[in-house]
Structure 1
Amino acid sequence: MSSSKVLLTGATGYIGGTILAQLIESDHPALQTITCIVRGEDRVSKLQDVYGDRVKAELYSGLDDVDRTIEVASQHDVVINTTLGWHPDSTIAIIHGLARRKKTTGKDVFMIHTSGTSNLADRPFTEGYVEKRVFDDTEDDVYGLEKAADAKEPYPQRTTELGVVDAGLQEGVKTLVIMSPTIFGVGSGEWNKSSIQIPTYVKVALSQGQAIVAGEGKGEWDHGGDGVPFGRKGIIFSGNGRFSWGEAVQGAADAAYEAGKIKTREVKSVGLEDGAEIFLKGWDVSAGHGKQLMEQGFSSNSRTESAIARKLGWRPVKGAEAWKEGFAEEVRLATEKGSS
Structure 2
Amino acid sequence: MSQPKSLLLVGATGFITESQSETLERNGIRSIVLEGGLDDSSGLTHLASQHDIVVNAATGFHAASARAFITGLAERKKSVSIDVFYIHLSGTSNLAVGDVTGLGGERRTFSDKDEDIYAHEAGVDACQPYAQRTADLAVIETSETLSVRAYIIMPPTVWGQGTGHFHRVSHQIPMLIRQALKAGRVEYVAPGSSRLGHVHVVDLASLFELVVARAIADPALPSGRNGYFFANTGSHSWLEVSEAIAKAGHELGVFRSMETVALSLSEAAPKFMGGDETRTEQTLASTSVIWPTMLYRIQG
Do both proteins adopt the same fold according to a TM-score greater than 0.5, normalized to the shorter chain? yes
Per the alignment, residue 127 of structure 2 pairs with 152
TM alignment of 1:98-117, pairs within 5 A:
98-117=73-92
Q: What is the CA-CA distance between 1:41 and the residue it aligns to?
A: 2.3
Per the alignment, residue 317 of structure 1 pairs with none
Separation (CA, whole Å) in 1 of partners of 2:136 and 2:294 = 19
Q: Give secondary structure in 2 for the equivalent of 1:57.
A: coil
Separation (CA, whole Å) in 1 of partners of 2:261 and 2:106 = 25
Separation (CA, whole Å) in 2 of partners of 1:305 and 1:67 = 37
Please, which moves more after superposition, 167-176 or 240-249? 240-249
Of 176, 188, 193 in structure 2, the residue corresponding to residue 213 of structure 1 is 188
Separation (CA, whole Å) in 2 of partners of 1:108 and 1:210 = 53
Q: Give secondary structure in 1 for the equivalent of 2:173.
A: helix
Separation (CA, whole Å) in 2 of partners of 1:106 and 1:240 = 38
Of 16, 21, 39 in structure 2, the residue corresponding to residue 44 of structure 1 is 21
Separation (CA, whole Å) in 2 of partners of 1:255 and 1:134 = 33
TM alignment of 1:200-239, pairs within 5 A:
200-225=175-200, 228-239=221-232
User: Within the alignment, does 1:57 sit opposite 2:31 as a pair?
Assistant: yes
Write the letter of the residue equivalent to 1:58.
I
Per the alignment, residue 44 of structure 2 pairs with 69
CA-to-aligned-CA distance 1:255-302 (integer Å, 9 cap, x gap): 222222222211101100111111124xxxxxxx70000111111101
User: Within the alignment, does 1:10 sit opposite 2:49 as a pair?
Assistant: no
Q: What is the CA-CA distance between 1:131 and the residue it aligns to?
A: 5.3
User: Within the alignment, does 1:277 sit opposite 2:270 as a pair?
Assistant: yes
- Shift of the 127–134 alpha-carbon distance from structure 1 to 2, 3 Å rule, reads closer
Per the alignment, residue 313 of structure 1 pairs with 299
Q: What is the CA-CA distance between 1:231 and the residue it aligns to?
A: 0.4
Separation (CA, whole Å) in 1 of partners of 2:169 and 2:41 = 27
Q: What is the CA-CA distance between 1:186 and the residue it aligns to?
A: 0.5
Write the letter of the residue equivalent to 1:303.
V
Separation (CA, whole Å) in 2 of partners of 1:129 and 1:11 = 30
Structure 1 unaligned regions, length at least 5: 14-37, 282-288, 315-340
Q: What is the CA-CA distance between 1:200 and the residue it aligns to?
A: 1.0
Write the letter of the residue equivalent to 2:299.
G
Separation (CA, whole Å) in 2 of partners of 1:165 and 1:128 = 23
Separation (CA, whole Å) in 2 of partners of 1:99 and 1:259 = 54
Write the letter of the residue equivalent to 1:310.
Y
Per the alignment, residue 249 of structure 2 pairs with 256
Separation (CA, whole Å) in 2 of partners of 1:129 and 1:171 = 30
- CA contact under 8 A between 1:124 and 1:130: conserved in structure 2? no
Write the letter of the residue equivalent to 1:153.
Q
CA-to-aligned-CA distance 1:120-151 (integer Å, 9 cap, x gap): 11122123789542211113521111011101
Separation (CA, whole Å) in 2 of partners of 1:295 and 1:224 = 20
Q: Give secondary structure in 1 for the equivalent of 2:67.
A: helix
- Shift of the 2–125 alpha-carbon distance from structure 1 to 2, 3 Å rule, reads same
- CA contact under 8 A between 1:202 and 1:256: conserved in structure 2? no
CA-to-aligned-CA distance 1:180-212 (integer Å, 9 cap, x gap): 100100111111111111111111111111111
- Shift of the 140–173 alpha-carbon distance from structure 1 to 2, 3 Å rule, reads closer
Q: Give secondary structure in 2 for the equivalent of 1:224.
A: strand
Separation (CA, whole Å) in 1 of partners of 2:44 and 2:16 = 12
Q: Give secondary structure in 2 for the equivalent of 1:212.
A: strand
Write the letter of the residue equivalent to 2:44.
T
Of 172, 187, 194 in structure 2, the residue corresponding to residue 197 of structure 1 is 172
Aligned-residue identity in percent:
35
Separation (CA, whole Å) in 2 of partners of 1:296 and 1:239 = 17
- CA contact under 8 A between 1:220 and 1:244: conserved in structure 2? yes
Per the alignment, residue 211 of structure 2 pairs with none
What number of residue pairs does the alignment pair up? 280
- Shift of the 131–219 alpha-carbon distance from structure 1 to 2, 3 Å rule, reads farther
Write the letter of the residue equivalent to 1:147.
A
Per the alignment, residue 96 of structure 2 pairs with 121
- CA contact under 8 A between 2:8 and 2:48: conserved in structure 1? yes
Q: What is the CA-CA distance between 1:171 and the residue it aligns to?
A: 0.5
- CA contact under 8 A between 1:48 and 1:57: conserved in structure 2? yes
Q: CA RMSD in A?
A: 1.8
Per the alignment, residue 303 of structure 1 pairs with 289
Write the letter of the residue equivalent to 2:290.
T
Q: What is the CA-CA distance between 1:43 and the residue it aligns to?
A: 2.6
- Shift of the 8–197 alpha-carbon distance from structure 1 to 2, 3 Å rule, reads same
Per the alignment, residue 188 of structure 1 pairs with 163
Separation (CA, whole Å) in 2 of partners of 1:292 and 1:219 = 15
